[in-house]
Amino acid sequence: MASNAGSQTGEFRPLDYVKITLFGFALSAFWSSLHLVILPLRLLDFAPEALKNTYLDLLILTGLIVAMAVQPIAGALSDHSTSRWGRRRPYILLGGVLLLVFLPGIGQAGSYAVIFIIYCLLQISSNTAQGPFQGFIPDLVPMGRRGTASGVRSLFNIVGGLVLIRVIAPFMDRYFTGGGSSWLWLALMIPAVILLGGTLATVFVVKERPRTASAQLPLPSTLRASFRIDVKARFNFILFLVACFFVFTAWGTLMAHALYYLMDVVNFARPAEVTGDLLIVVGAAMLVVVYPVGRLCDRVGRYPIAVASGFLGALGIVAIFFSQSYWQIMLSAALLGVCSGAWMCTQWALATDLVGWGEEARYLGLVNMSIAGAGVVSRLVGPVIDFFNARSPDLGYQVMLLACFICFIAGSLLLLRIRGRRSAQPAQ
């Protein structure tokens, strides 16, 4: 097997951190725009008011199940790719092009069923690219710099997730209040342009070294191995997956229902714009901590920071529960942003420590499978919210916050269990 570029510390330059995270920035901008602003308001064209949480969560739940199936397979296929372009970039190009082809369907759809199909096609396309993309850090970054690389990746994901929300939110508010479909198409066009730029930049600026033909496996063998984990040898990795599941269930539940929570509980007249402000505050807090935490976890270890971030998230949920004004919501969002920034960079640093050598994208695809599974569970909360809200006003949202609190605590406790067993170093 050809050695990776990151195997020699001197070969990996500061600009390379940016190059290997550009596509993550574009994907984050694309999906945050779609999930947090565009789809919640677009679905109100088809969903009954009393079932809006259920309709939204059924859509995204199904898409996440698709993601759980596609991403590890795409990652495993890229692990054994022998393309002269490298292992990852052909899949990134394919997935990026398909996303751009299917995105207009969100605006053209005339029914919930059509949006449902288009959304699943978008998930297939995105995860065809994302599984291989995640192999860049273990492929190209030296071991001693992976915490920093994870911090840069998290930084770009945060910026990507925030850069369009506040821009698109007023367009969707105008669409929601009867301003016409042109506002919807403008909101869809902007993330498409960002995605196109990120895809092309990644394909042309990231340099990979292809594997030799002997590393390639038959397709059936690759598919069978995509979801396989040696439980005894990778027990720490499994505990890590479960911890990720709990923490991302909390985050996914909170973010998925933020717009409706601000609309129904805090009674903001322009909930999309307030949601945009909330995300900007979360992102600003994340930006303050994510890069220094990434560097710090290379020096003092991942676990203390990751565990503390989970408990801090639980505190942020308590703050949200008692927030009834715009500024209280924003202060709570800042607390959650610090939690999220610390968790994101330490989580990816831990993940790259724990992956199997030679199967990096497959293992990181399994990490994202855990995250997608958390997304599935978070989308099952929608019917629960509607069920309890029908019995007492806002009771469903109170149940939602309690579930988020418990999940943050559970994730931190599981990370403590990993540290108690053995050091999390990758098997060679």
pLDDT at residue 26 in the model = 92
Query: Is 165's pLDDT higher than 50?
Result: yes
Token reading at 244:
């990720």
pLDDT tens profile 22-66: 998 999 899 988 988 899 889 988 888 778 878 887 888 888 788
Does residue 427 sit within a domain? no
Token reading at 249:
């269930």
The answer to whether the beta carbons of residues 361 and 132 sit under 8 Å apart is yes
Does residue 328 sit within a domain? yes
DSSP 174-235: HHHTT--HHHHHHHHHHHHHHHHHHHHHHHHH----PPPGGG---HHHHHHHTT---TTTTH
Among the ranges given (170-184, 187-201, 230-244), the one the predictor scored with the smallest mean pLDDT: 230-244
Biggest alpha carbon–alpha carbon distance for the chain: 63
Distance CA(166)–CA(158), nearest Å, equals: 14
Does residue 1 sit within a domain? no
pLDDT at residue 223 in the model = 53
Does residue 221 sit within a domain? no
pLDDT tens profile 69-99: 888 788 878 877 777 788 889 999 999 999 9
Rounded to two decimals, the pTM is 0.67
DSSP 49-87: GGGHHHHHHHHHHHHHHHHHHHHHHHHHHHHT---TT-S
Does residue 354 sit within a domain? yes
Report the amino acid identity of residue 15: L
Distance CA(385)–CA(405), nearest Å, equals: 16
pLDDT tens profile 267-326: 777 777 788 788 788 878 887 887 787 777 777 777 788 888 889 999 999 998 888 888
pLDDT at residue 51 in the model = 83
Range 157-181 average pLDDT: 81
Check residues 382 and 182 and name the one with the higher pLDDT: 182
Range 214-238 average pLDDT: 57
The answer to whether the beta carbons of residues 357 and 42 sit under 8 Å apart is no
Instruction: Report residue 239 CA to chain centroid gap.
Output: 19
Query: Is 224's pLDDT higher than 80?
Result: no
The answer to whether the beta carbons of residues 112 and 43 sit under 8 Å apart is yes
CATH code for the domain in which residue 147 is found = 1.20.1250.20
Instruction: Report residue 210 CA to chain centroid gap.
Output: 28
The model's confidence at residue 201, banded by pLDDT at 50, 70 and 90, is: very high
Range 347-370 average pLDDT: 67
Q: What percent of the chain has pLDDT over 70?
A: 84
pLDDT at residue 211 in the model = 60
Q: Closest Cα partner for 135 from 69, 84, 80, 95?
A: 80
Does residue 223 sit within a domain? no
Token reading at 32:
């945050």
Query: Residue 128 to residues 59, 78, 98, 166, 399: CA-CA distances in angstroms?
Result: 19, 10, 9, 28, 35
Does residue 238 sit within a domain? yes
Query: Is 3's pLDDT higher than 50?
Result: no
Angle of CA points 344, 347, 348, to nearest 5°: 90
The answer to whether the beta carbons of residues 332 and 261 sit under 8 Å apart is no
Does residue 14 sit within a domain? no
H or E segment to which residue 270 belongs = none
The model's confidence at residue 210, banded by pLDDT at 50, 70 and 90, is: low
Among the ranges given (73-77, 189-193, 223-227), the one the predictor scored with the smallest mean pLDDT: 223-227
pLDDT at residue 200 in the model = 95
The boundaries of the domain holding residue 196 are 20-212+231-421
Query: Residue 298 to residues 93, 292, 305, 312: CA-CA distances in angstroms?
Result: 32, 10, 11, 21
The answer to whether the beta carbons of residues 80 and 216 sit under 8 Å apart is yes
Domain count, the chain: 1
Distance CA(172)–CA(116), nearest Å, equals: 20
Token reading at 190:
């902007």
